[in-house]
Amino acid sequence: MTKPIPCPALLIAAPASGQGKTTVVSALARLHTRQGRKVRVFKCGPDFLDPHWHQLASGAPVYQLDLWINGEAECRARLAAAAQEADLILVEGVMGLFDGKPSAADLAQRLNLPVMVVIDAGSMAGTFGALAWGLQNYQSGLPWAGVLANRVASSSHAAMLQASVREPAQWLGALMRNPAMVLAERHLGLTVASEVRDALARLDAAADALAETPLGQMTVQDLQRWQVNFAPIPVTVPQPKSLKGKTIAVARDAAFCFIYAANLDCLRDLGAELVFFSPLNDARLPPCDAVWLPGGYPELHAAQLAANTTLRDSLAAHVAQHKPVWAECGGMMVLFESLLTLDGEVLAQWGLLPGAVCMQKRLAALGPQQLALPEGLLRGHTFHYSTCTTTLEVDRRTARPDCEPVAHAGEALYRLGSIQASYFHAWFPSSPAATAALFGFAGEVKP
């Protein structure tokens, strides 16, 4: 039997969202990458946005880890594969440490990942230590690494926070308030790193600040205190090449950027050749057998998308030839006839589906979802700030985990000709056979 694969690893969590987890994870990854170490970063949960910052910081692809969406076996395999090549593994938690089912704490405990907690200490002193102690001891047997204070006002404030921590060795330092290292946000979360002009400078500023803390001054030898022995990668049975010989065109630009690296890997593993295009800038589709319009921010680019009539016509011609289109969330939004902005402006869209999209000030839906297809059960999630009205009949609906889909529950899946569209974001590796069905090739299985 292959020996366990050792590698230092940290799961970086917080008591709530907005505490600065992404900044700290990215800063730590950037700091060690600058020093010539290979860092692999993962994100707990189905988040699309934070991984853009992690990838910029580490220079390596970032994958999601979720005990329900991925399954424990896939989480273990991805970590083991990373441990084979990395000097340090970082996993960013989701929401608060114990929020969600399963939570970041559940992932840490199941996979024996030491937890470091980032706490926004801007408005506290002695309570900092109480909060850190409570997080450490709330769930019995949780592997623990320590605590880092964020948004600290001064050196004297930092000293008070440090004094409140019961075990001095668990104090990993303080990051002062610094506008230069703040990561920009918008309505769905962090702004994608590629759209922030000084993104790398912000990460460097955060890395420089972290370098002054006990955490940032740790050597490779110091990091061994958090070494995890990852189980060997199991031997898996290769998937049938059900997409062999097929070319799938994937929309990818500032308007369509919600793409899991694992989904691209899954399509390639199924034998597909992937080509990428920009609905914002390209005049026509590349030659292809199927199209994937992923989620993103079409509402921020609605006028430019509507003006690209040659791309719209190219997609319409693709559909007229009965070639498949899978459109999820933002990819579906642009296919409707119009979009109503928060300012009350009605913008024409591509009109390949009858109906209209209306932007909302608050979340319209959030949470894990699963889509049952004849070929298999796809897991994923939903997260959107818009609603749609359409005369299309609902082909089927998603459901929450362990629930049966019923009328008006879960997200609708619409079909019109060769188009399949839904607000549902699918995790393709959860069912490669169902993934092939999304692109219309379920019955074309090749050896």
- Give residue 444's pLDDT band: very low, low, confident or very high (50, 70, 90): very low
**Three-state SS annotation for 165-207:** CCCHHHEEEEEECCHHHCCCEECCEECCHHHCCCHHHHHHHHH
Tokens standing for residue 104 = 């970041």
Q: What is the rounded CA–CA span in Å between residue 28 and residue 386?
A: 35
In this prediction, residue 364 carries a pLDDT of 75
Is 446 a domain residue? no
226 with 317, same domain: the answer is no
Structural domain total, the chain: 2
Instruction: Say yes or no to pLDDT of 279 above 70.
Output: yes
Is residue 262 domain-shared with residue 206, that is, in the same domain?
no
Which residues contact residue 5 at a Cβ distance below 8 angstroms, ignoring those fewer than 6 apart? Answer: 80, 83, 84, 229, 230, 231, 232
Q: Residue 255 pLDDT > 90, yes or no? A: yes
For residue 186, the model assigns a pLDDT of 42
How many other C-beta atoms can be found within 10 angstroms of the C-beta atom of residue 308? 20
Do residues 51 and 194 share a domain?
yes
pLDDT of residue 443: 42
240 in a structural domain:
no
Catalytic residue among 44, 329, 358, 388: 329
pLDDT at 1: 42
**Pair 214, 320 in one domain:** no
For residues 264 and 143, membership in a common domain is answered with no
Is 75 a known active-site residue?
no
Would you say residue 236 lies in a domain?
no
**239 assigned to some structural domain:** no
Domain endpoint, select from 205, 230, 255: 230
The domain that holds 373 is classified in CATH as: 3.40.50.880
Same domain, residue pair 356 and 266: yes
User: Of the given ranges (98-107, 181-190, 235-244), which has the lowest mean pLDDT?
Assistant: 181-190
109-168 pLDDT, tens digit per residue, is: 999 999 999 999 999 999 999 999 999 999 999 999 999 999 999 999 999 999 999 999
> Do 70 and 199 belong together in one domain?
yes
Q: Mean of the pLDDT values across residues 315-338?
A: 96
Mean pLDDT of 358-375: 88
User: In the prediction, which pLDDT does 181 show?
Assistant: 62
Asked if residue 200 is part of any domain, the answer here is: yes
Residue that terminates a domain, selected from 202, 230, 258 = 230
Cβ(93)–Cβ(125) under 8 Å? Answer: no
Core vs surface per residue 192-230: b (16+ CB within 10 A) or e: bbeebeebeebbbbbbbbbeebebbebeeeebeebebeb
Distance, in Å, from the CA atom of 381 to the CA atom of 427, rounded to the nearest integer, reads: 8
Q: What percent of the chain lies above the pLDDT cut of 90?
A: 78
196 domain residue, yes or no? yes
Summary mean pLDDT of the chain: 90
- Quick one: average pLDDT of 268-284? 96
Model confidence band, residue 180 (pLDDT cutoffs 50, 70, 90): low
Collapsed DSSP state (helix, strand, coil) of residue 41:
strand
Residues 133 and 34 in one domain: yes
Where does a domain end: 178, 203, 230?
A: 230
Q: Is 167 in contact with 13 (CB distance < 8 Å)?
A: no
Cβ neighbors of 349 (< 8 A, separation 6 or more) are 298, 302, 305, 306, 333, 334, 335, 336, 337, 338, 339, 357
Cis peptide before 102 (omega within 30 of 0): yes
Q: What is the dihedral of CA 247, 251, 257, 262, to 10 degrees?
A: -10
Is position 117 within any domain? yes
The average pLDDT across 294-323 equals 94
pTM, whole model, 2 decimals?
0.90
Per residue in 181-215, pLDDT (tens digit) is: 666 554 445 555 555 677 888 899 999 999 999 99
CA angle 436, 437, 442 (to 5 degrees): 80
Q: Looking at the chain, how many residues does it have?
A: 447
pLDDT of residue 446: 34
Run of H or E residues at 150:
strand 144-152
As beta bridge partners, residue 387 has 358
Whether residue 170 is found in the same domain as residue 225: yes
pLDDT at 240: 84
Does one domain contain both 96 and 189? yes
**265 plus 189 within the same structural domain:** no
Q: What is the pLDDT of residues 56-85, one digit of tens each?
A: 999 999 999 999 999 999 999 999 999 999
Residue 226 within any structural domain of the chain: yes
Instruction: Note down the domain range covering 296.
Output: 247-438
Within this chain, do residues 256 and 206 fall inside the same structural domain, yes or no?
Answer: no
For residue range 401-415, list pLDDT tens digits in order.
876 555 457 899 999
Ordered alpha helix ranges (H), 42-103? 50-58, 72-83
Q: What pLDDT, in 10s, does the model give residues 32-46?
A: 999 999 999 999 988
Token pair listed for 393: 């009949």
